Amino acid sequence: GNGEQIGPGEFIPVAEKSTLIIEIGEFVLREATKDFAPYMREHRDLTLSINISAKQILSDNFVELVRGILEENNFPAECLEIEITEYCLMDATEEAIAVINELKQTGIHLAMDDFGTGYSSLSYLTKLPIDMIKIDKSLIDTISEGEIVSAIISMGHALGCKLIAEGVEEQRQVELLSQKGCDYVQGFIWGKPMSFDKALETVSFNK
């Protein structure tokens, strides 16, 4: 109540224990697409990526909610990427797979977040229309010690996915990932989290 900022690492696990995570997810989806819509309509090569909880995916009428928000904000579906975490498929049901397939049919891109944390079977990836696999930071931190990342990159490409490495902080990691054929990197090497206004200043969009 005193205006103190709390990081997502603290409040998301608490919200996940209740239905509050569904309200947060809807708020973020609605506000982010509203804020970025004017820029995305002019720059169709850009992607807005939003994390969605497993609870949200399985909530009532989630696909209809997403379609409604896109329409309401005149946001191009092909510029939205929904990230689902690997653990949300730990008990993947036919219902979850059906929802994810419906989302894909709307033109939205889908990313598997935190891949490599050991929660899901590779068989899920063959059942889902995933466009992007995000390699978990824990594997990137030990990239020089083994070929696990290379194997994930090869597997992802074989499935027709692009690969993005999470939590990249050092130039040597960028170079190693480039050698291994990783498509994209994200992390403090490019910049730290920032406000919407600051992001606009940094990118210098021309509407």
The 3-class SS string of 39-106 reads HHHHCCCCCEEEECCHHHHCCCCHHHHHHHHHHHCCCCHHHEEEEEEHHHHCCCCHHHHHHHHHHHHC
Quick one: tokens of 109? 């891109």
Q: Per mean pLDDT, which range of 22-26, 58-62, 76-80 is the poorest? A: 58-62
Query: If phi over 0 gives left and psi between -120 and 50 gives alpha, with beta otherwise, what is residue 93?
Result: beta
Q: Are 162 and 132 in contact (CB under 8 A)?
A: yes
**pLDDT for position 88:** 63
**pLDDT for position 89:** 64
pLDDT in tens, 123-132: 777 888 999 9
pLDDT in tens, 34-47: 999 999 999 889 99
φ/ψ of 135, rounded to 5, equals -80, 125
Neighbours of 114 (CB within 10 A): 20
Q: What is the mean pLDDT of residues 87-105?
A: 80
CA atoms of 189 and 171, how far apart (whole Å):
7
Does the structure show a pLDDT above 90 at 1? no
Numbers of helices and strands, H then E, in the chain: 10, 6
Q: Mean pLDDT for the chain?
A: 87
Please report which helix (H) or strand (E) contains residue 194, including its range. none
Q: What is the mean pLDDT of residues 148-166?
A: 94
End-to-end CA distance of the chain: 37
Does the structure show a pLDDT above 70 at 104? yes
φ/ψ of 120, rounded to 5, equals -115, 160
Q: Per mean pLDDT, which range of 84-98, 146-160, 170-184 is the poorest? A: 84-98
By DSSP bridging, strand 132-135 and strand 162-165 are parallel
Confidence of residue 145 (pLDDT cuts 50, 70, 90): low
The larger pLDDT score, comparing residue 98 to residue 146, is at: 98
Cα-based distances in Å from 131 to 38, 114, 139: 24, 14, 20
Q: What is the mean pLDDT of residues 90-101?
A: 78
CA atoms of 12 and 187, how far apart (whole Å):
20
Does the structure show a pLDDT above 60 at 206? no
Does the structure show a pLDDT above 80 at 197? yes
